[in-house]
Amino acid sequence: MNYEKLLDVAYNFTIARKGIVRKFTLTFQKMDFHHIAGLHKLTDTRQVLRGTRECIFDKIVQGAVSQKLIEESDLYTEMSARLAPLCHLEEVLDNDNLIFKYNENVRVYSKIKSDYLLEGLVGDLSVYLFLGNRNENDESCQMCRTFFPKSTIDYSIGQPKYTLLRKEKIRVSSGEILLRHERA
């Protein structure tokens, strides 16, 4: 599973807008996968609802919860659009993205709680990655909140766009820098 490789990766972002510089680190945990994969939408499938999100992730990796079981859900179509792009999440993060400071008040009809919005591409498909603080009241440590393809709603409209000054991809276990992007 591609997401499993990200558990040992962190991305450090430095972004700016109108002279204001923001820095944050994006990290990955097993429990984050549940929501970004859309498993929370499968309310008719007990195997993805019972137990901790970490335990469910481990069951998916081990094959105890299979793709076939997930596809048998009556609600599969509500989350299936996320799965193909999710296999390319690392690629999306490694490439240049549009970065916005997400203001929830601009999209009052949406229930998404997020600090930042990244808009990227998987092939020719535009995708949204919403980031939120991992620790309450601390925007310096972010996690993936939700991830899905762009549809008829443009979540970036009205959101303040930031310039990416620097991005580093780091292997957490060794501290090795895997990727560095600096604005020229």
* Phi/psi of residue 165, nearest 5 degrees: -90, -40
Neighbouring residues of 40: CB distance < 8 A, sequence distance ≥ 6: 34
Question: Measured between alpha carbons, how far apart are the two ends of the chain, in Å?
Answer: 35
Residue 45: pLDDT band (50, 70, 90) is: confident
pTM of the model: 0.92
- Residues 104-150: tens digit of each pLDDT: 888 767 888 899 999 999 889 999 999 999 988 788 999 999 999 99
- Residues 64-102: tens digit of each pLDDT: 888 888 889 999 998 888 888 999 999 999 998 899 999
Q: What is the pLDDT of residue 137?
A: 79
pLDDT, average across residues 3-10: 96
CA distance 69 to 71: 5
Neighbouring residues of 12: CB distance < 8 A, sequence distance ≥ 6: 23, 24, 25, 166, 167, 168, 170
pLDDT-above-90 percentage for the chain: 62
Calculate the CA 183 to chain-centre distance.
23
In three-state form (DSSP H/G/I as H, E/B as E, the rest C), the secondary structure along the chain is: CHHHHHHHEEEEEEEEECCEEEEEEEECCHHHHHHHCCHHHCCCCHHHCCCCHHHHHHHHHHCCCCHHHHHCCCCHHHCHHHHHHHCCHHHHHHCCCEEEECCHHHHCCCCCCCCEEEEEEECCEEEEEEEEEEECCEEEEEEEEEEEECCCCCCCCCCCEEEEEEEEEEECCCCCEEEEEECC
Q: What is the pLDDT of residue 1?
A: 65
Per-residue pLDDT at 155 exceeds 90: yes
Residue 183: pLDDT band (50, 70, 90) is: confident
- Residues 30-42: tens digit of each pLDDT: 999 998 999 888 8
pLDDT, average across residues 139-168: 93
Q: What is the pLDDT of residue 3?
A: 93
Q: What is the pLDDT of residue 169?
A: 97
- Residues 54-63: tens digit of each pLDDT: 998 998 899 8
